[in-house]
Chains A and B, each alone.
Chain A
Amino acid sequence: MAGIWVVAETNPDGSLARSSSELGTLGRTLAEASGVAATGIVVAADPDAAAAELATYLPAVIAIPEPAAADHAWGQLAAERAAAVIDASGPTLILASAGPDGRDVAGSLLALLDGAALVNATAVAWSDGESVEMSVFGGKLITISGFVDGTGVRIITVRPNAVNPEPAQQPGGVERRAPSGSTTLPAAAIVDRLESEGAAVSIDDARVIVAGGRGTGGEQGFELVEEIAGLLGGAVGATRAAVDSGWIPYAQQIGQTGKIVKPRLYLAMGISGAIQHKVGMQTSETIIAVNRDPDAPIAEFADMLVVGDLFEVGRALVTELKARKG
């Protein structure tokens, strides 16, 4: 292995994207396990702040100022500029995020450098070579994959939240490298930016659902449910009892006479778990229930039952989540 490279992304305000702090940590971990040097790359109109932050995770970072990134789609630009600094003369591992921008840069690099790719990894380890775990078939199976011996450029896209960011003991160094020449890929121009309430995610597709039942007691109870959902980046669901009582619209009803959902997280507040509701959400990946009743049927199929008052626990959860966001 000649080198490990982490292609980082930035937030609109120029700070380092959270997924890149995860990738930086991963890159450093793999470097330590393999004995190969790891380097971060930040391509942005103004890369310095993000590069400095990335350097808290990696021993070396190359900051590439690319003015065109201010008003052009990032993926193709970043891939060309990164390809110019990546020394691909030996086996080379490139890490990118599996998010929308990471996919763009990874796919572009794949073609530019004639590489091979493993995508949407949930874990990457070093075991005499890369060992990449991927969750397939809707979560029913985990595969472990690697690259064939002799493969030159190896690209891995990594799922967000797969790694916990951990700064290095000593921050690394940042080298600023201005790009030379123009790019050949015709990156699309950004001609306008629109602010939006956000693409309203319906509960059908939501990755996180926080649902309220009879125990919420009314519209005010649902305000708490909504607040928690907002902090977790999720949608709000409800049982039939809550909908019938008029606390929340039918479009958000989950269960036999409502919707069947399969989010990654289902947080059930004041929901007993009776069968009519159970059929609507029982295949959620993680189910956490908050209920006063320790014998609530939902305990039979939840991962965690918190026995307590949903308002007290809910408010404490809001405090915890806000503290984490910092």
Chain B
Amino acid sequence: MTYRLSEEQVLLRDTLHALADERIAPRAAEIDRTGEFPEDIRQLLAAQDVLALPFPEAYGGVGADLLTQCLAIEQIARADTTSSLILTVQGLGSLPILLGGSDEQKARLLPDLASGKKLAAFALTEPEAGSDAVNARTRAVRDGDEYVLEGTKRFITNGSVASVISVFAVTSPEGPRHQRLSCFAVDVPTKGFKVARLEHKLGIRGSPTAELEFDGVRVPAANRIGNEGDGWKLAMATFDRSRPAIAAQAVGIAQGALDVAVAYARDRKQFGQRIGDFQMVQAMLADMDARVEAARQLTYKACVEIEAGSPETARWASISKLVAGDAAMAVTTDAVQVLGGYGYTDDFPVERMMRDAKITQLYEGTQQIQRLVIARALLGKG
């Protein structure tokens, strides 16, 4: 499978490039400093149909394929990671419904998400179940035509601003490991639902990362996505599409940092010449560029393979996220290095980009989890 960007994809990319530079980048430092969720950016993205990208046209979406979504994410992440998260999590939180929801559920839940009127979130991780998410403990007990949810979710992006949360809870505690969980689309706020706390983080500080408590939260059975026991499968199918999005985000962050470093190397003079003329700086910048481009091309390729239904979908998703996440961390760190002392201060955005980059090595499966997925694809199950 190979790709070629269509006219629309090029125009979309260029439009979002300009939008990111003109409207998002100027806000990035302030968002990081105040740690406030950028409601203005959310409105901007909704108004420009950006949040509609992951949704089918039938529900008011743009019906964009994975590559197109990733082009958008990359451009926004270049300017600000927190802002790009608004788009990636809208996709992540909605994917269970998109992949496993009934027509009735889609018709009921998707339009408000496509329009950006409501935000989505994805609640799988728990205090005691991070990488080991399959051993989640939040319970969903059937009671008539409702389920009663009991438990705690942790590190949930958008947990405090979302109105529709895809919550994974145990419906068969004694069942086989991969059939214990079911997925529910929970409309919040609702009785028994509480945002217990927000994390103070190293980076993506404007993105609310929440601990959510479900204390006897009642959810209509009509909101269960798929059958009882489908939860883990749905989660895995979700990651197949959401991990490339994180890869695109990482590519964007890295490119943003590289751009700042290159501009600095052109302007900054030391020892009577611009520092870009020194070979050590040139080598760093060249390596950074090569890494970013490699990560980008791998991500785009992964998108088209996954969209085409490759039998190696999980491998493509994990490989792209692994390579891009590590590239982002390395490139942003090197960007700080190129800027020297100035890079360490908030006069320049690279220190923020470096802090933001770290999360791409942690969420949606740590880099270690990605390696397990890839190895399993290579070796088969033991």
Q: Which residues of A contact B (CB under 8 A)?
A: 240, 256-257, 275-276, 278-279, 282, 300
Contacting pair B267 A278 (CB below 8 A): yes
Chain A, Cβ-Cβ closest to B346:
A257
Distance between Cα atoms of A278 and B347 in the complex (Å): 13
Contacting pair B269 A282 (CB below 8 A): no
B278: Cβ under 8 A from any A Cβ: no
Chain A, Cβ-Cβ closest to B28:
A257
Distance between Cα atoms of A282 and B347 in the complex (Å): 18
Contacts of A282 in B (CB 8 A): 267
Chain B: residues with Cβ within 8 Å of the partner, total of: 9
Contacts of A256 in B (CB 8 A): 347-348
Contacts of B268 in A (CB 8 A): 275
* A275 in contact with B29 given A256-B347, A256-B348, A257-B347 (CB within 8 Å): no
Contacts of A300 in B (CB 8 A): 269
Chain A, Cβ-Cβ closest to B264:
A275
Distance between Cα atoms of A257 and B349 in the complex (Å): 8
B344: Cβ under 8 A from any A Cβ: no
Contacts of B269 in A (CB 8 A): 300
Chain B, Cβ-Cβ closest to A300:
B269
Distance between Cα atoms of A278 and B342 in the complex (Å): 14
B378: Cβ under 8 A from any A Cβ: no
Given A257-B29, A275-B264: 6 more A-B contacts, CB < 8 Å: A256-B347, A257-B347, A275-B267, A275-B342, A278-B267, A282-B267
Which residues of chain B (235-276) have a CB below 8 Å from chain A? 263-264, 267-269
Contacts of A257 in B (CB 8 A): 29, 347
Chain A proximity of B342: nearest CB distance (Å): 7
Distance between Cα atoms of A282 and B267 in the complex (Å): 9
Chain B proximity of A273: nearest CB distance (Å): 11
Contacts of B264 in A (CB 8 A): 275
- Report the 4 A-B pairs with minimum CB-CB distance, sorted nearest first: A276-B347, A275-B268, A279-B267, A275-B267
Contacts of B263 in A (CB 8 A): 279
Contacts of A276 in B (CB 8 A): 342, 347-348
Report 14 cross-chain contacts, Cβ distance below 8 Å, ordered by A residue.
A240-B347, A256-B348, A257-B29, A275-B264, A275-B267, A275-B268, A275-B342, A276-B342, A276-B347, A276-B348, A278-B267, A279-B263, A279-B267, A282-B267
Chain B, Cβ-Cβ closest to A255:
B347
Chain A, Cβ-Cβ closest to B269:
A300
Contacts of A278 in B (CB 8 A): 267
